[in-house]
Amino acid sequence: MAESFKVMVWLVLLVLIFIYVYGLVLTESIWDTCPNDATPLVCTKFGDLLSSQMTLYQIMYSGLLWGDLWEELRVMDWYIQIIFLSYVVFALMVFLESVCTFLKNHFFFIVSYHPR
């Protein structure tokens, strides 16, 4: 039980650091272009660090459709688009799949060595 809790704490910490770093980069990148009449949603969602982190958390766990933000980001600089798409690809396709697979394997390993 303690081993599972330790693994879970490290995975949560890894997710928080991942969201913090991308939130910081996106907030700093978008900061100069806001307020902007062409991108009100992006300016609201990435206007400060806490909003950016919450937005990225919602994207990662399907609480926000990232396509709506992408439509407004298309009028911004190319490097902002690349940063955002790299987050989406890494978070949704690589990071979450890796975390889920690791947890599944870890819990099956614990159950197999600790039968009831």
Tokens 């933000």 label which residue?
69
pLDDT class of 48 with cuts at 50, 70, 90: very high
**pLDDT tens digit sequence for 24-37:** 999 999 888 888 78
> Which residues make Cβ contacts (< 8 Å) with residue 35, sequence separation at least 6?
43
Residue 113 or 49, more confident: 49
Tokens 């690809």 label which residue?
89
CA dihedral 62, 82, 12, 54 (to 10 degrees): -60
Q: Can you give the residue ranges of every domain in the chain?
A: 16-113
pLDDT in the model for residue 1: 57
84 pLDDT above the threshold of 90: yes
Q: Taking residues 74-94, what's their average pLDDT?
A: 88
Q: CATH code for 16-113?
A: 1.10.287
Q: How far is CA 41 from CA 5, 38, 51, 93, in A?
A: 38, 9, 11, 24
Q: What is the DSSP string of 82-105?
A: HHHHHHHHIIIIIIHHHHHHHHHH
**pLDDT tens digit sequence for 85-106:** 999 988 877 777 777 777 777 7
